[in-house]
Amino acid sequence: MAKNIFYAQSGGVTAVINASACGVIETARANRRFGKVYAGKNGIIGALREELIDTSKESRSDIAALRHTPSGAFGSCRYKLKSIEESRAQYERLIDVFKAHEIGYFFYNGGGDSQDTAYKVSQLSKIMDYPITCIGIPKTVDNDLPLTDCCPGFGSVAKYVAVSTREAGLDVASMAESSTRVFVLEVMGRHAGWIAAAGGLAKEKRDDPPHIILFPEIAFNKAQFLKKVKEVVTKVGFCVIVASEGAQYADGRFVADAGQKDAFGHTQLGGVAPTLVDMIKSRHGYKCHWSVADYLQRAARHIASATDVEQAYAMGKAAVDFAADGMNAVMPIIVRKKNKPYRWSIGNAPLSKVANMERKMPRSYITRDGFGITGKAREYLSPLIIGEEPPPYRNGLPQYVRLRNELIKKKLQPFSI
């Protein structure tokens, strides 16, 4: 009998992770080799709790609408399984749930941590002698997965940041003579500057915004930064800055770290922009405005990159095709064939090599002074934001689908996580 598929969304969601889900479900529905697609309610937590969403209850049109709906339609989670030694009971529980519901395929849609989990499940299924085909589906706005040329989710954030930088740049230019001189846009990317770099695509001519980009990869030097701000304002009349939330000093302290920690003792970031503005105002006295894009940037399906949507869908589809072809413990990847015109194809990478590796911006993508992107970066980034695929609108608002998300009947005892 055809085995069922388990699909789960993991980590921070994106504007296009549901397009991958759409690719998985539509492709699996069209292939009789597969049974039903069960989605984890809130990601892997759903598997542990045996909370499985029966996607066969969803209409064809609702599944199709996933392609234009941001966020994680089945719920996601931040929940990393530890090593098999530390969390063996959890891995065994996963296998038990898979057994109970005749699941033969495990598709995990997430970043590096998730690919690590998928890899471990594939290892354990061998040991426990219950064969599971494990396929990773790449997803991360941070664009920091190795081996794949880019990650679904990134192109749309990149487009959002480039568009917003261009629009806000025009605004500041209009106001600079008698009011605002400096605008700071804070964007995501705690460890890698890919998203901040995308702001650089807004620039067409030399003095266009953004004038300064701050990357986590380049140690922040306050004196040099303030000098540069002044130079730009003097020359151009105003200064637009795109700052990564991960911008940090040479000693690794985050620029945004004013020493505050959250209830769990984690350093709370998200304040690079106001911190920079404080510096600029006290040194130069310029009137400043600042914006923190936060979730808006990764949820902004309304301005998603059509290229990104297409790739996200293709990765979901490829996962199912790989499984149908008998492949295991792999992740589909995007292979760049050509820059102009942009051509790409689908390759694959073993999960063992994807897990827990972070890809930072190459130094050659950042200008010598550390404040901008090079032609090489532009060549890499440009194709990823191409094309628009707007959602349908009703009454002026995007119509995003909300699924029924019906759970299947549990067969096992409760399991506490």
Q: Which is nearer to a second copy, 62 or 171 (CB)?
A: 171
Q: Is 275 in the site for a second copy (CB under 8 A)?
A: no
> Site residues for a second copy, window 4-63 (CB under 8 A)?
9, 12-13, 15, 42-43, 45
> Site residues for a second copy, window 284-313 (CB under 8 A)?
285, 287, 289-296, 298-303, 305, 307
Secondary structure of 182-220 as H, E, C letters: EEEEEECCCCCCHHHHHHHHHCCCCCCCCCEEECCCCCC
Cα–Cα distance, 51 to 11 (Å, whole number): 18
Q: Is 267 in the site for a second copy (CB under 8 A)?
A: no
Give yes or no for a contact between 33 and 324, defined as CB atoms under 8 angstroms apart. Answer: yes
Total binding residues toward a second copy, as defined by CB under 8 A: 75
Dig out the tokens for 244 from the structure: 């990564």
CA distances from 410 to 97, 98, 100, 125 (A): 9, 12, 9, 22
Q: Is 379 in the site for a second copy (CB under 8 A)?
A: no
Active site residue ranges? 142
> Site residues for a second copy, window 243-262 (CB under 8 A)?
262
- Tell me how far, at minimum, the Cβ of 30 lies from a second copy, in Å: 26
Q: Is 226 in the site for a second copy (CB under 8 A)?
A: no
Which of the stretches 122-130, 189-197, 359-367, 384-392 binds a second copy when contact is defined by CB under 8 A?
384-392
Q: Which is nearer to a second copy, 299 or 324 (CB)?
A: 299
- Tell me how far, at minimum, the Cβ of 146 lies from a second copy, in Å: 24
Q: Is 415 in the site for a second copy (CB under 8 A)?
A: no
Q: Which is nearer to a second copy, 264 or 413 (CB)?
A: 264
Q: Which is nearer to a second copy, 82 or 353 (CB)?
A: 82
- Tell me how far, at minimum, the Cβ of 80 lies from a second copy, in Å: 10
> Site residues for a second copy, window 165-194 (CB under 8 A)?
166-168, 170-175, 177-179, 183, 185
Give yes or no for a contact between 291 and 168, defined as CB atoms under 8 angstroms apart. Answer: yes
> Residue 108's beta-bridge partner residues?
8, 136
Element (H, E) at 65: helix 60-65
CA 126 to chain centroid: 31
Q: Which is nearer to a second copy, 152 or 370 (CB)?
A: 152
> In the sheet where 133-138 sits, what is the strand order?
52-54, 34-40, 3-9, 103-110, 133-138, 330-338, 343-350
Cα–Cα distance, 324 to 330 (Å, whole number): 13
Cα–Cα distance, 244 to 186 (Å, whole number): 6
> Site residues for a second copy, window 322-361 (CB under 8 A)?
none
From candidates 79, 219, 236, 405, binder to a second copy by CB under 8 A = 79
Give yes or no for a contact between 301 and 70, defined as CB atoms under 8 angstroms apart. Answer: yes
